[in-house]
Amino acid sequence: MASVDEILQTLKTRSFGRRLYLFERLESTNSTADELARDGAPEGTVVVAEEQTLGRGRLGRRWLSEAKTGLYFSLILRPAIPPREAPVLSLAAAVALHQAMESLCGLKPDIKWPNDVLIRNRKCAGILLEMSSESDELKHLVLGIGVNVGHDRFPLELEGLATSLFLESGHLFAKESVMQSILESLEPLYDRFLSQGSCAILDSWIKRSSFAQGRRVVVELNGIRRSGVTWGVTGEGALQVKLETGGTEEFLSGDVVNWE
């Protein structure tokens, strides 16, 4: 990856990434960003690592974080919002990833609720939003983003499930260009969220996700699976599903494990 100075010279943001920490190897950029945030690092601070030894994903999963091929970074946010509104920011990040993959890479991605970025039904990027709050007051958020950039293959257990920008476009993108493009897309979305609320984000998310409405899905939450057809997202970003068994359920967390 390019040096911090080189990245800052071409980064077109006001605050996101202006304070940038670049590490060769970390356990998890989310953990380091969280420590920096607790020590008072300002909003917009970004931690990026060439490699993670304990990269984590949503729902307690691991995130494959080998050197060279993947982009791993975390952004510190300090919005003055109640904790229940925070999940929309992970949808905003998915929109930013979608925009970056379209404009920088010329690809046609999809967003699987809540924030998996898919290309041809395979996962190319993931987002992990972690919150620090005390008695219903949000202290800070760490938005972790992992993008499969240069992989030319995946371990057996991910074959057919994962893909990379290289595999989809045939082009080896520089990791810093991908990160810059994501930060440049995300900053205006974040500003809009702060000034106008979640509606603007949700509208963009709905336009970019084929999962927003009319998709037959199986959602898993706490080990329980529910089948139905998607029926929109709420103002807090919860997925509404018309259940096969009748009635509608709103999922604020969970995972779409099967879809048609």
Question: Nearest-CA neighbor of 50 among 81, 22, 79, 15?
Answer: 22
Q: What is the Cα–Cα distance from 98 to 258, expressed in whole angstroms?
A: 21
By beta-carbon proximity to ligand BTN, the closer residue of 56 and 122 is 56
List the one residue out of 191, 93, 70 whose CA is nearest residue 142. Answer: 93
Q: Does 44 bind ligand BTN (CB under 6 A)?
A: no
Number of Cβ atoms within 10 Å of the Cβ of 122:
18
Q: Pick out residues in 110-129 that bind ligand BTN (CB under 6 A).
A: 116, 126-128
Backbone phi and psi for residue 214, each to the nearest 5 degrees, phi listed first: 80, 15
- Choosing from 45, 52, 185, 230, the residue that interacts with ligand BTN (CB under 6 A) is 52
Residue ranges of E strands in 58-195: 70-77, 110-112, 116-119, 122-134, 137-148
Asked if 144 interacts with ligand BTN (CB under 6 A), we say: yes
By rule CB under 6 A, what string of x and - marks binding of each residue 146-185 to ligand BTN? x---------------------------------------
**Is 45 a binder of ligand BTN (CB under 6 A)?**
no
134-157 burial string, b = 16+ CB within 10 Å, else e?
eeeebebbbbbbbbbbbbeebeee
The window from 5-13, 53-61, 106-114, 235-243 that contacts ligand BTN (CB under 6 A) reads 53-61
- Of the residues 17, 28, 178, 186, which one makes contact with ligand BTN according to CB under 6 A: 28
Which residues are at the interface with ligand BTN (CB under 6 A)?
A: 28-30, 52, 55-58, 61, 63, 72-74, 116, 126-128, 144-146
